[in-house]
Amino acid sequence: MNRHGMRRALGAALAAAVWAAFALPAGAQTIIVGNDEKLLWDDAGKAVLHPPGNDTLSIVDIKHRLAPTIVTSLKLENSVVGPPVNLQITPDGSLALLANSLDVQSDGKGGLKNVPATQLFVVDLKANPPALVSTVEVGKQPSGLAINKKGDLALVTNRADNSVSVLSIKGKEVKLVGTVAMGDSVSAVAIAPDGKRALVAKYSAHKIALLDIDGEKVSYDHYDMSVGVWPYNVQISPKGDIALAGNQGNGGAADGGVDTVAVIDMTANPPRVIDYVTVGVAPEGLAFSPNGRLAVTANLNGSGAGPINAWFHKKNSTVSVLRVEGKKVRHIAEVEVGPLAEGVAFSPDGHTLYVGNYLGSDLSILKVEGDRVVNTGKTLKLPGHPGSVRGSLP
């Protein structure tokens, strides 16, 4: 090879090395959506159950941020009952975990009823097409789910068991390795970026509990923080310095009053609530942007599950945009989306936000420009009603 050829080869090798260093994992171009076809509401706000068998997990390619496409939709049971964080992608993009909260069964009287489920589905995202590879039995009514940044541990909150399931992840093998008794019903969980602690939402007790993590050993020293009324969801910032807990105020039922997010100082020993931020009505979805400068809540806003003639009924939900400056969090904007918004997920570059509209059966696509979040008006039609949305870890 001549000198010029060697230079070209070295240049190509250097470019490849730089690309490899900064390339995003496969999962970073994917979000997953849990669609529930078993639960809707009539005009009086009464729940109407439908037979099981039509729920799906949609795997969505977001490589083209404003024009996402559905790769496939797997028939897997899951439920809108619970916070919209019952699913997650491992950091390397190889697996998706999906917790099924409730099953619908015959009530023996010609009707249907909800019963606690116990399944955690493991999906191989690298298979072509993606496929279910195993089902793990966890506690009753598994709801919130979190995977640590190393990708070797997952925690699942079991609402009907008052417990947290601890799962190891080794390649494609996901195994139950422990259970932590929490004493109260728990709805959501978040793991700190360093993997050493986790926060758990004690929904009906109006508290956030602190867990310690040492490898696969997870322990609860009974330290709880009072954070507000009906904390449904909790998330920790990418830097690990603060956490946010979304307080639903009226237990998820619409009442027209604004609600709050509690700000938790994770650098304090022990962690503690240092502030509250007013957001929209009944926050469910909750997420930090990948750089941690923004956070958002998806607020039911009186849309969907409630009497349509109530004074507080609204056609659409909203997204509250929060600016994060160190440990100071401020509400800076409210953006209208579709009806009964549940889950939210940022793209890995933080420039796009996807919001699942349960009654719209679609994803709203929002553009993020610095601190400004704008609804583009574009949507992605889904094969069902999105009860949850998550992306890969930042």
Residue 364, domain extent: 138-391
Give the Cα separation of 303 and 281 in Å (integer): 10
268 domain residue, yes or no: yes
Note whether residue 318 is domain-resident.
yes
Residue 94 in domain: no
Q: Which residues pair with 386 in a beta bridge?
A: 35
Q: What total of structural domains would you count in the chain?
A: 1
Residue 311: exposure state from Cβ atoms within 10 A (0-12, 13-18, ≥19): exposed
What CATH number does the domain containing 351 carry?
2.130.10.10
Q: Is residue 79 part of a domain?
A: no
Is residue 45 in a domain?
no
- pLDDT score of 245: 98
What is the reported pLDDT for 19?
Answer: 32
Residue 160 lies in a domain: yes
pLDDT in tens, the chain (394 residues): 444 444 444 444 433 333 333 334 545 699 999 999 999 999 988 999 999 999 999 999 999 999 999 999 999 999 999 999 999 999 999 999 999 999 999 999 999 999 999 999 999 999 999 999 999 999 999 999 999 999 999 999 999 999 999 999 999 999 999 999 999 999 999 999 999 999 999 999 999 999 999 999 999 999 999 999 999 999 999 999 999 999 999 887 778 899 999 999 999 999 999 999 999 999 999 999 999 999 999 999 999 877 889 999 999 999 999 999 999 999 999 999 999 999 999 999 999 999 999 999 999 999 999 999 999 999 999 999 999 999 976 5
Contacts of 15 (CB under 8 A, 6+ apart): none
Residue 113's pLDDT is what?
96
**Is 162 domain-assigned?**
yes
Instruction: Kindly state whether residue 226 falls inside one of the protein's structural domains.
Output: yes
